[in-house]
Amino acid sequence: MKFGRDSSSTPSNRRALICGISGQDGAYLAELLLAKGYTVYGTSRDAMMSGFGHLARLGLRDRVHLRSLAITDFRSVMQAFLDIEPDEIYNLAGQSSVGLSFEQPAETLESMAFGTLNLLEALRMLKSSARLYNAGSGECFGECPERPADERSPFRPRSPYGVAKAASFWEVVNYREAYGLFACSGLLFNHESPLRPARFVTRKIIQAAGQIAAGRKEKLQLGNISIQRDWGWAPEYVDAMWRMLQQPVADDFVIATGASYSLQDFVAQAFAHFNLDWRDHVTTDKSLYRPSDIAVSRGNPAKAKDQLGWSAQTHMPEVVRRMIAAEPAAGAQPGA
Mean pLDDT computed over 127-138: 96
Give me the mean pLDDT over the 37-58 stretch.
Answer: 86
Query: Do 204 and 128 share a structural domain?
Result: no
Q: What is the CATH number of the domain that holds 20?
A: 3.40.50.720
Residue 276 sits in a domain whose CATH number is 3.90.25.10
Same domain, 250 and 263: no
More confident residue, 99 or 132: 132
How many Å from the N-terminal Cα to the C-terminal Cα in the chain?
Answer: 55
How many angstroms separate the CA atoms of 277 and 81, rounded?
Answer: 53
Looking at the structure, do residues 135 and 278 belong to the same domain, yes or no? no
Q: Is 139 one of the catalytic residues?
A: yes
Distance CA 31, CA 147 (A): 34
Claim to verify: residue 205 and residue 291 sit in the same structural domain? yes
One domain, residues 112 and 202: no
Sheet of 65-68: strand order equals: 65-68, 39-44, 15-19, 88-91, 131-135, 183-188, 253-255
Say how far apart CA 1 and CA 129 lie, in whole Å.
Answer: 11
Residue 161 appears among annotated catalytic residues: yes
* Catalytic entry in 133, 161, 175, 237: 161
Considering the domain boundaries, does residue 55 fall inside one? yes
**From the candidates 22, 44, 101, 137, which is the catalytic residue?**
137
- Contact status, residue 68 vs residue 108, Cβ threshold 8 Å: no
Look at residue 204 and tell me if it is in a domain.
yes
Q: Which 3 state secondary structure label does DSSP give 7?
A: coil
Q: What letter would DSSP give residue 219?
A: P
* Alpha-carbon gap, residue 130 to 17, rounded angstroms: 10
Query: Tell me, what's the pLDDT at 208?
Result: 94
Task: Enumerate the H helices of 47-190 as residue ranges.
Answer: 53-57, 74-84, 98-101, 105-109, 115-125, 160-179
Phi, then psi, of 81 in degrees rounded to 5: -60, -45
Cβ–Cβ under 8 Å, residues 151 and 169: no
Amino acid at 84: I
Task: Please indicate, yes or no, whether residues 77 and 222 belong to a single structural domain of this protein.
Answer: no
pLDDT tens digits, residue range 53-85? 899 999 999 999 999 999 999 999 999 999 999
Q: Are residues 169 and 47 in the same domain?
A: yes
CB-count burial class (<10 Å; 0-12, 13-18, 19+) for 283: exposed
Q: Is the dihedral of CA 4, 5, 7, 8 positive or negative?
A: positive
Find the catalytic residue in 31, 88, 139, 236: 139
Same domain, 120 and 145: yes
The pLDDT of residue 332 is 43
Counting every residue written for the chain, the total comes to 336
Q: What digits encode the pLDDT tens for the residues 275-297?
A: 999 999 999 988 888 888 899 99
- Tell me: pLDDT of 327 over 70: yes
Task: Give yes or no for a contact between 319 and 192, defined as CB atoms under 8 angstroms apart.
Answer: yes
Task: Tell me, yes or no, whether 204 and 149 share the same domain.
Answer: no
Number of independent structural domains in the chain: 2
Is 18 found in the same domain as 110? yes
Among 4-18, 143-157, 187-201, 206-220, which is the least confidently predicted range? 4-18
Question: Long-range contacts for 169-175 (Cβ within 8 Å, ≥24 apart)?
Answer: 169/134, 169/136, 169/140, 169/252, 171/113, 171/116, 171/117, 171/120, 172/116, 172/120, 172/132, 172/134, 172/252, 173/252, 175/120, 175/123, 175/124
Share of the chain above pLDDT 90, in %: 79
Residue 309 lies in a domain: no
What is d(CA 204, CA 324) in angstroms, rounded to the nearest whole number?
11
Helices (H) and strands (E) in the chain, counts: 12, 13
Residue 301 lies in a domain: no
The answer as to whether 85 is a domain residue is yes
- Distance, in Å, from the CA atom of 245 to the CA atom of 37, rounded to the nearest integer, reads 16
Q: Is 3 contained in some domain? A: no
Residues 6+ apart with CB under 8 A from 76: 68, 69, 70
The tens digit of pLDDT for each residue in 213-269 reads 998 888 999 999 999 999 999 999 999 999 999 999 999 999 999 999 999 999 999
Q: Is residue 180 assigned to a domain? A: yes
| Residue 97 is assigned to a structural domain of this protein | yes
Which residues lie closer than 8 Å to 77 by C-beta, 6 or more apart?
A: 69, 71, 118, 119, 122
Q: What is the mean pLDDT of residues 197-220?
A: 92
pLDDT in tens, 161-198: 999 999 999 999 999 999 999 999 999 999 999 999 88
Q: Are residues 181 and 204 in the same domain?
A: no
Q: Are residues 125 and 265 in the same domain?
A: no
Which residues have C-beta within 8 Å of that of residue 182, sequence separation ≥ 6? Answer: 129, 130, 131, 132, 176, 245, 250
Range of the domain at 221: 197-230+259-296+314-326
